[in-house]
Structure formats: structure tokens, C-alpha cells
Amino acid sequence: MSDIRDTFYVGHKSDGTLKKRPMSPHLQVYKPVPSMALSILNRITGAALSGGSTLMVAWLASAAKGPKPFKTVQKVTGSFMGQIILFGFSVSFFLHLIRGIRHLIWDATGQRLDKETINKDSKTDIVTISALTLGLWTIIIGKRLRKKRK
């Protein structure tokens, strides 16, 4: 073996003879499926929720400090960019919530763990996450529109 890394790719066949094992497959080897994307997004949304929680704490702290700081934070969160961040936060929240419930079901029952069912359930999760997010934002936008009419 010319390279030290080659020693890590040596294995044994069932008859005991040496065999060179392949390197770990890369993401390009796998066919993308919804469950793969949602698994990756679940990890990303966990980090996004940490950042979004900081924003929520700032909002609550400004409310506790008084009307002037609260108005400043409301101006930031009410801006176009602030609304996009809040929309992303709500998507992250619902994705992480629904995927957490899915894992709870898996852990509690030990069912629905075959690949076909997981991929089918992942499509259901996408619809549920979208419906919850759009429902929340329909309520938010509806309240704003009613407020503007008054």
C-alpha cells in the first residue's frame, strides 16, 4: 500500500481473504428523497430556532423596558426584512415541531420505520408544515388588514 489512507479501506471477505473496501459514499451517490431533505432541514431549523429565539427574547425585553424600545423593535420586525425573518422563523418552528412529533411516534411505537412509509409520511409532513405556516400568516395578515380598515 502506497498511501497510509489505504489501510483504512481494507476489509475481509466472508472467506477471510483481504478486500479493498470502497470509501464512504458521497451525497451525490444517493437519490434525493423528501425524507433526506427534511432530515437535513430539521437540523438546520434547530439552529435557526436558536437564533429566532434570541429575536423573541429581544422583543420581550423591549416590551418590558417600555414603549419607546418596544416601538423600535416593532419597527424592525414590522419591516419587509423583519417579516421575511419572522416568516422563516415560523416555517422553522413548524418543520421542527412536525418532525419532532414524527420522531416521537417512531420512538414510542416503533412503527412506520420502513423507507417507503417514511418517504410517504415526509410528503405529508411538507403539506402539514405548509398548511400550518400559511394558516398562521393568513391570520396575521388578516388582523393587519382589519386593523388598517378601522
Q: What is the pLDDT along the chain (150 residues), one digit of tens a residue?
A: 466 666 667 777 888 888 877 666 666 677 888 998 999 999 999 999 998 999 899 999 999 999 999 999 999 999 999 999 999 999 999 999 999 999 999 999 999 999 899 999 999 999 999 999 999 999 999 998 888 887
- How far is C-alpha 118 from the chain's CA centre? 16
For position 61, which CATH number holds?
1.20.1300.10
The answer to whether residue 7 sits within a structural domain is: no
Coil, strand or helix at 13? coil
DSSP structure string for 81-116: HHHHHHHHHHHHHHHHHHHHHHHHHHHHH--S-SHH
User: Which residue segment(s) compose the domain that 139 sits in?
Assistant: 29-149
Residue 8 confidence (pLDDT): 64
The answer to whether residue 5 sits within a structural domain is: no
The answer to whether residue 78 sits within a structural domain is: yes
Bridge partners of 11, per DSSP, are 19
